[in-house]
Structure 1
Amino acid sequence: MSGDHFHVHGPHDHAVEHAGHGGDNFSSQIAVMTAILATVGALFSYEGGATQNDAMLHKNQAAILKTEAANQWAYYQSKGNKQNLAELGSALSVEDKRPKFEADAARYKAEKEEIKKKADELEARVKEEDELSEQAMHVHHRWAQAMTAIQIAISLAAITLLTRKKWLQYGAWGTAAFGSALAALALAHI
């Protein structure tokens, strides 16, 4: 500054002085918006992966239980065959041998009831695990839909930055809001 209060700015001084005032605020807003959307998208992606893993674990457990139930039914059938042979032995045997065959037949019949009960319980658990798997896959699909909407919103934000069209920014926010609504449905297991 001179003594006559006359001040001359160089180009650099002018740029530094006005850097915080009237800079490219629009670009900054879009950059922050994109960063927020990317963070939200990462969270949605994580939740989608977690629910997909849950679905696979439940489906795997259902398969294991189904095998156990099939084994129980095979065991039940073998006891039935033994019961039938014991009943046949009772019918074809002489009077003094009949009580042993009848006792064996009664024992096999009682054992079959326990085996049937266990097999039925296993099948009920298979059904529960399958239902849990289906529910988890439904929630996974919601998370995937939410993530897709966020990715579209990020793309719209990039196009907004290139075209500098404010209405595209609103479109990006609207798409992000739609994705957030889908995420809320996923959180609510709807």
Structure 2
Amino acid sequence: MDDDFDVRGLHEQLSEERGAKGEAFDQRIALFTAVLATLAAVTSFLGGHTQNEALLHKNEAVLIKAQASDAWGYYQAEDLKRHIAQMEVDLAPPGVDAARMATQRADIARYKARGAALKREATALDARSAAADSDSDEALRPHTKLALAVTAIQVAIALASITALTGRRWLLWVAGTAALVGALLAGMAWF
């Protein structure tokens, strides 16, 4: 009963029609597609790596910026205390206890010194945050080209698959061109 009815798939029919020459062509396409898939996987990994590195630097920039913001807040508090102490000295009526005025002047000097140190710290933290932000931008720079490269390589894989199914050899040239564009974009991402 099984001998009476034979259902063949389109791929089998096309392979038989093309014969050994077509089979060798299909093998070359399969090898070409495997190489492209490997190139796409590596390029995709590199693109993901650039995103992760950029995110790490951006998180560092945000963390340092928060520390700088805290330092600026402490600086403003110290400067406000210095200003209030200075006003007490400047507005003190004649005959105020000299010891109290000496204490106020000592507080003014202490607030001024602490404020200067906090200002230096806040400024340094702002600079570190800006540097980390710049590192983030630099790490992300190749990502767009890598994403476009993966897209071009995926197009090449699709075109190679269509070539294998249809036997249209000219499509392989288009696939090769797309693969070349993808490889060039991947190379350009680092330069």
TMscore range, shorter length: 0.7 to 0.9
Deviation at 1:95, TM superposition (A): 5.5
State the 1:42 CA deviation: 0.6
* Structure 1: gaps of 5 or more residues: 1-18
2:141 aligns to what SS in structure 1?
Answer: helix
Runs of 4+ in 1 over 4 A off after TM superposition: none
Deviations 1:83-137 (A, max 9, x none): 0111022123325022221121122112111111111111111111111112222
Structure-1 separation of matches of 2:138 and 2:179 = 25
Give the RMSD, CA atoms, in angstroms.
1.6
Rounded Cα–Cα distance in structure 1 between residues aligned with 2:22 and 2:65: 66
Matches of 1:187 and 1:68, distance apart in 2: 33
The separation in 2 between residues aligned to 1:157 and 1:22, in whole angstroms, is: 17
Give me the whole-angstrom Cα distance separating, in 2, the residues matched to 1:158 and 1:28.
Answer: 12
Aligned counterpart, 1:159: 162
The residue number in structure 2 matching 1:141 is 144
Task: For residue 149 of structure 1, report the CA deviation from its aligned partner.
Answer: 0.9
Partner of 1:187: 190
Match of 2:75?
76
Letter aligned with residue 152 of structure 1: V
How many residue pairs get aligned? The number is 169
Give the C-alpha shift of residue 22 in structure 1: 4.0
**What's 2:127 paired with?**
124
Is 1:66 paired with 2:65?
yes
Between 134-143 and 42-51, report the one with greater CA deviation. 134-143
Would you say the 8 A contact 1:90–1:102 is kept in 2?
A: yes
TM-score (norm 2): 0.83
Between stretches 137-146 and 153-162, larger displacement belongs to 137-146
Counterpart CA distance in 1 for 2:123 and 2:160 is: 56
1:152-176 alpha-carbon deviations (Å, 9 max, x no partner): 1101111111222222111111111
Deviations 1:42-68 (A, max 9, x none): 101111111110111111111100100
Conservation of the 8 A alpha-carbon contact between 1:90 and 1:99: no
Question: What is residue 54 of structure 2 aligned with on the other side?
Answer: 55
Sequence identity (%): 41
Where in structure 2 are the equivalents of 1:16-55 lying within 5 Å?
Answer: 22=21, 24-55=23-54
